[in-house]
A and B are shown apart, each in its own frame.
Chain A
Amino acid sequence: MTISTRSIVVAGILIAISSVLALTGLGYFPVPNVTSEATVMQVPAIIGGILEGPVVGVIVGMVFGLNALLRFSGLPIFAGQPAWMPFVVLFLPRLLIGVTAWLTYVGLKRTNEIFALGAAAVVGTLTNTVVVIGLGILFGILPVAIIPTVLPQAAFESVVAAVLTIAVVAAWKSIDRGKGGSSV
């Protein structure tokens, strides 16, 4: 598999952003439900998928997955479960975020690019929420009753991710065409 220099560098920069958001806690927002935190940590993986394709999306998603694994694998819901359970529930779904975001963007960008960006962000975010919660329910570590409490969080995360993705990618593409503004 050959990956272009541009893709490697963009992946590296997005991993750095992911790490800074994780280390500072700015990537997480406290919410009153079982997950306790809504997140924008999926956004670097979504932007990676949109700008450079699924491989970069997967590589950047790995950082989100590892961070989730470190933050949440010690939680009581995983006590008494097999050792692979946190890996499957917390890590693997994060690899899919960039892939589904890329597929959505590629499929819709001919209709309207801004709409495609928003849809890719929403699909990437919902991939994260639906697959993590779905696997949790499937393996019996989360009750089905959790779904109503997670729905408002999923909507909140989707809207934030869509706004952020559109703002960043649209701004980036216009900068790319030489229409720069203030740097901060």
Chain B
Amino acid sequence: MSADFELLRNVTIGQYIPAESPVHHMDPRAKLLATLFVGLAIASTRSIAASLILLGVLMLVTRVAQLDISYVLRGLLPGLGALLFIFAFQFLFQGPNVPCTELFFKWRFIQISPCLIYILVLGAVRVVAFLFLVSLLTLTTTASHLTHASEMLLTPFQRIGLPAHEMALANMIALRFIPTLADELDRIMKAQASRGADIGERRWWRPDKMVRERMPLFVPLFVNSLRRAEELVVAMEARAYIGGKGRTKFVTFTSRVSDWVVVALTALLWIAAMRLPWAAWENALFGIHWQP
């Protein structure tokens, strides 16, 4: 029962792990851009081989960052049930939407082809690669550095009306309050359980019951959070907070040439994932010709 209250136990994304590694010491702005390019590379490629190479590179960087690969993989656990369900659904019903010259099995609308299996394996590799990518960024960079870096990268877009500073401040407030609200949620769950609520009952096949179980958590969570917001607004206005133009920054970053070399390399990785003839290479080396 106590495990039902430890909701954040298997959440690895977003937890900074301090270490003395080149990845940790990289300029957060460069790290964000590099993450963007590798993310585009993973999303662009239609080849399992290219996706596996990208996953291998990410695993290598994970080791360089002195992080445990099994710890990163634990991040799959919270969404594993939903992921397996989606893959099973796609396996059974996506067949007719995937044109293929070969067919393993056909019964009514269920069509299992090598092209479908190729797409499913590609999807699975992409899910793991994205997990490693996001974990690498958040496990090696503090949340405040990420926020400041994103603000600095978005500053040029202020000219077209993007409220970069305000968005960064909202993110900073969110980062400050996530642990507080997680504690608050824990407290509400225990309070409702002590009043006889069915907290922690595993009835995933009855979404209506799950809603009735969670509604007594959601309403106080929202209302108490809005009350905290009100207190913070009063505190900020009492201190004459004025955002936007002319504010100086307490946090500044210094970058080295090597940081931007890494960004350039990841941009090349993106171009390689998009432009190189991966399908022809897979066909020549392994006889695989089922790429989408």
Q: Which of B148-189 contact A (CB under 8 A)?
A: 161, 163, 166-167, 169-178, 180-182, 185, 187-188
Does B237 contact A5, Cβ atoms closer than 8 Å? yes
Does B166 contact A79, Cβ atoms closer than 8 Å? no
Interface residues on A, range: 35 or more
Does B244 contact A2, Cβ atoms closer than 8 Å? yes
Check B215 for interface membership: any CB of A closer than 8 A: yes
Does B129 contact A83, Cβ atoms closer than 8 Å? no
Q: How far is the CB of B219 from chain A (nearest CB, A)?
A: 5
Does B122 contact A76, Cβ atoms closer than 8 Å? yes
Give the residue of B14, B123, B134, B237 whose beta carbon is less than 8 angstroms from that of A76: B123
Does A24 contact B185, Cβ atoms closer than 8 Å? yes
- Chain B hits for A171, CB < 8 A: 219, 223
Check B40 for interface membership: any CB of A closer than 8 A: yes
Give the residue of A25, A74, A175 whose beta carbon is less than 8 angstroms from that of B227: A175
Does A6 contact B130, Cβ atoms closer than 8 Å? no
Does B172 contact A12, Cβ atoms closer than 8 Å? yes
- Chain A hits for B185, CB < 8 A: 20, 24, 26
| Known A16-B177, A168-B219: A184·B11 in contact at CB below 8 Å | no
Check A132 for interface membership: any CB of B closer than 8 A: no
- Chain B hits for A83, CB < 8 A: 40, 43-44, 274
Does B222 contact A168, Cβ atoms closer than 8 Å? yes
Give the residue of B134, B173, B227 whose beta carbon is less than 8 angstroms from that of A8: B173
Interface of B (DSSP majority class):
helix
Question: Which stretch, A36-44, A95-103, A117-125, touches the partner chain B?
Answer: A36-44
Check B107 for interface membership: any CB of A closer than 8 A: no
Does A13 contact B292, Cβ atoms closer than 8 Å? no
| Known A5-B241, A184-B188: A74·B123 in contact at CB below 8 Å | yes
Does B243 contact A20, Cβ atoms closer than 8 Å? no
Does B219 contact A167, Cβ atoms closer than 8 Å? yes
A55 to B164, CA, bound (A): 12
Check A115 for interface membership: any CB of B closer than 8 A: no
How many chain B residues touch A (Cβ–Cβ < 8 Å)? 87
A183 to B205, CA, bound (A): 31
Q: Which of A67-101 contact B (CB under 8 A)?
A: 70-71, 73-80, 82-83, 86
Q: Which of B261-292 contact A (CB under 8 A)?
A: 274, 291-292
Does B207 contact A156, Cβ atoms closer than 8 Å? yes
Q: Which of A1-49 contact B (CB under 8 A)?
A: 1-3, 5-17, 19-20, 23-26, 28-31, 33-38, 40, 43, 47
Q: How far is the CB of B13 from chain A (nearest CB, A)?
A: 8
Does A17 contact B170, Cβ atoms closer than 8 Å? no
Does A25 contact B46, Cβ atoms closer than 8 Å? no
Q: Which of B116-166 contact A (CB under 8 A)?
A: 119-120, 122-124, 126-130, 134, 161, 163, 166
Give the residue of A1, A11, A25 whose beta carbon is less than 8 angstroms from that of B170: A11
A27 to B1, CA, bound (A): 20
A73 to B44, CA, bound (A): 11
Give the residue of A15, A24, A75 whose beta carbon is less than 8 angstroms from that of B7: A24
| Known A12-B173, A13-B226: A74·B126 in contact at CB below 8 Å | yes
Does A80 contact B46, Cβ atoms closer than 8 Å? yes
Check B214 for interface membership: any CB of A closer than 8 A: yes
Does B122 contact A79, Cβ atoms closer than 8 Å? yes
A143 to B97, CA, bound (A): 7
Does B173 contact A9, Cβ atoms closer than 8 Å? yes
Q: How far is the CB of A24 from chain B (nearest CB, A)?
A: 4
Can you list 11 A-B pairs, Cβ within 8 angstroms, ordered by A?
A5-B237, A8-B170, A8-B173, A12-B176, A13-B232, A16-B176, A36-B86, A73-B43, A73-B126, A74-B126, A79-B123
The 8 closest A-B pairs by CB, nearest first: A80-B292, A12-B173, A76-B123, A74-B127, A15-B174, A74-B126, A24-B7, A16-B177
Question: What 4 new A-B contacts, CB under 8 Å, besides A20-B181, A34-B86, A172-B226?
Answer: A25-B78, A30-B81, A36-B89, A163-B215
